[in-house]
């Protein structure tokens, strides 16, 4: 139950608040106070914490943030982006997206891409998770969900179907004279193959065909 006094000029940058004010002004008959026009009749934001709203206000009132600005920490940018997305502050959302993206792990990009409707985060994050040396941890699998985890495990298994190689063997030779294959490692499937599998999996309703 925290009261914020915010300039209307800041809030109308949101499509949601702009429409709210327009409807209130059109329907006002003078008998009932307009919500948000006085401290006695504030706009009630259900389900929004004061801390998250304060993070949003930081960026609404900051005309420019340097790269080292404290507000650009993920603990501020993420809740601000969530509210900017929810209330359609389009310019602020566009400003915050790349700053949040740079702070997220590949697992988090898949997780938050759904919440913030950012399609371009998904496939690059899948590719990195499929091609990294370490498998998904139990916490990572839990975070992105069963279906996403199954896709990554499935594509990682594809690595064993590709020819093995070693870093010291010439491509023209079948056997390495130095290591005799003892340092051979599994090659990654071509990136185009991985991308195609991801697209087909999503198109087919998260099933393999």
Task: Give the pLDDT confidence of 129-172 residue by residue, as tens digits.
Answer: 998 889 999 999 999 999 889 989 988 887 766 555 555 544 44
Name which residue leads in pLDDT, 167 or 205.
205
Task: Render the burial of 118-146: b for 16+ CB within 10 Å, e for the rest.
Answer: beebbbebbbebbeeeeebeeebbebbee
The whole-model pTM stands at 0.77
pLDDT higher than threshold 80 for residue 177: no
Strand boundaries in 54-197, DSSP class E: 164-165, 185-186
Note whether 154 and 180 are within 8 A (CB).
no
Domain ranges, ordered by start, for the chain: 1-26+47-103, 106-161+191-209
């Amino acid at each position: 139950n925290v009261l914020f006094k915010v300039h209307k000029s800041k809030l109308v940058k949101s499509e949601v608040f702009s429409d709210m004010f327009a409807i209130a002004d059109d329907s006002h008959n003078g008998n009932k106070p307009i919500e948000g026009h006085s401290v006695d009749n504030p706009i009630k934001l259900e389900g929004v914490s004061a801390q998250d709203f304060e993070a949003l206000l930081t960026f609404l009132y900051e005309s420019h943030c340097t790269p080292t600005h404290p507000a650009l920490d993920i603990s501020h940018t993420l809740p601000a982006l969530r509210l900017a997305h929810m209330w359609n502050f389009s310019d602020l959302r566009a400003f915050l997206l790349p700053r949040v993206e740079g702070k997220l792990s590949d697992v988090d990009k898949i997780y938050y891409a759904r919440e913030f409707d950012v399609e371009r985060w998904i496939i690059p994050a899948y590719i990195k998770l499929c091609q990294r040396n370490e498998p998904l941890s139990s916490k990572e699998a839990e975070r992105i969900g069963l279906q996403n985890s199954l896709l990554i495990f499935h594509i990682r298994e594809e690595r064993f179907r590709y020819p093995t190689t070693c870093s010291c063997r010439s491509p023209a030779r079948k056997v390495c004279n130095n290591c005799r294959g003892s340092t051979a490692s599994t090659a990654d499937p071509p990136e185009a193959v991985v991308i195609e599998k991801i697209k087909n999996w999503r198109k087919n309703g998260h099933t393999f065909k």
